[in-house]
């Protein structure tokens, strides 16, 4: 049970959010010293992913938009970000246990991501509690995990459409969110989002690395393949404005940045 991939699966199945975050951070700290059986086939157990009874999951359009200029509205906005980070812990842990036969660096990369996403969730949840709320107090949607399920059968599609598509949207969305929160006077939230943006650049870069490597192994053109995968898996079309500086730091090529304007 001390195998890295099995421990990642155990953390994924943990339903209590703070316990999941603590397990993910501990696993990240210990990962380099844990045994790793990359070739082992692991059957999916029930309870994937583990999550609490709340928040209630509703369709995306049913999640109300709130103003950050009231305490409750700001809490709802921070809750939405915390929910994204909670799902991001699950997505990173899922990549570790699910996809067998990858190089050791792949698993260590995604354990690192899980640990950093867990830190993000913890910081946001602590700040949310300082406003008098907790994770689960507002409705949320399940868009990130839906794409994880769609791409469960192909690690290349997962790399293309989760880190470098859905998570890359956070690179675009974070600066406008920070501006709103700054106008609302929430300097702590702005500081937390600085940490998140810094780390997410690295996470998207990891997605780009493994997407390109898998394309190379399969003899596929990563530029030409990407729109085919978007259509095949019904991924959301990206809409401006784009944070081109952050995307470039995250490893998107000039051709890929040009695609955004197509």
CA distance 232 to 3: 34
> The tokens of 243 are what?
């944070």
Q: At what angle do helices 104-130 and 187-218 cross, to 10 degrees?
A: 160
Q: At what angle do helices 104-130 and 71-98 cross, to 10 degrees?
A: 160
CA distance 253 to 216: 15
CA distance 169 to 45: 30
Task: Indicate yes or no: pTM above 0.75.
Answer: yes
Per-residue pLDDT at 259: 82
Could you tell me where the DSSP H helices lie in 135-186?
Answer: 143-150, 155-161, 168-183
CA distance 81 to 137: 13
What Rg value do the Cα atoms of the chain yield, rounded?
A: 18
CA distance 223 to 141: 30
> The tokens of 230 are what?
């978007």
Contact 63, 140 (CB under 8 A): yes
Contact 126, 198 (CB under 8 A): no
Per-residue pLDDT at 209: 98
Could you tell me where the DSSP H helices lie in 14-142?
Answer: 17-30, 71-98, 104-130
CA distance 61 to 164: 23
What are the pLDDT digits (tens) for 128-154?
999 999 999 999 998 889 999 999 999
Q: Where are the domains of the chain?
A: 4-260
> The tokens of 82 are what?
């915390």
User: For 4-260, which CATH class?
Assistant: mainly alpha
Per-residue pLDDT at 1: 64
Low-confidence ranges of the chain (pLDDT < 70): 1, 262
């Amino acid at each position: 049970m001390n195998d890295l991939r099995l421990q990642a699966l155990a953390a994924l199945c943990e339903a209590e959010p703070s316990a999941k975050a603590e397990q993910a951070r501990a696993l990240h700290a210990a990962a380099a010293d844990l045994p790793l059986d990359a070739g082992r086939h692991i059957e999916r157990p029930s309870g994937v992913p583990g999550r609490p009874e709340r928040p209630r999951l509703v369709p995306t359009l049913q999640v109300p938009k709130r103003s950050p200029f009231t305490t409750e509205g700001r809490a709802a906005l921070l809750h939405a970000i915390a929910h994204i980070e909670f799902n991001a812990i699950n997505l990173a842990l899922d990549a570790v246990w699910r996809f067998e036969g990858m190089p050791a660096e792949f698993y260590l990369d995604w354990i690192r991501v899980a640990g950093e996403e867990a830190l993000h969730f913890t910081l946001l949840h602590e700040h949310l509690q300082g406003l008098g709320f907790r994770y689960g107090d507002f409705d949320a949607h399940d868009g990130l995990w839906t794409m994880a399920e769609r791409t469960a059968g192909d690690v290349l599609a997962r790399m293309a459409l989760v880190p470098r598509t859905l998570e890359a949207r956070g690179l675009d969305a974070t600066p406008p969110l920070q501006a709103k929160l700054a106008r609302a006077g929430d300097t702590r939230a702005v500081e937390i989002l600085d940490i998140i943006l810094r780390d997410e650049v690295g996470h998207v870069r990891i997605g780009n690395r493994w997407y390109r490597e898998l394309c190379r192994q399969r003899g596929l053109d990563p530029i030409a393949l990407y729109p085919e995968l978007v259509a095949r898996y019904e991924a959301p079309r990206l809409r401006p404005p784009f944070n081109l500086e952050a995307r470039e730091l995250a490893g998107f090529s000039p051709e890929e940045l040009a695609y955004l304007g197509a």
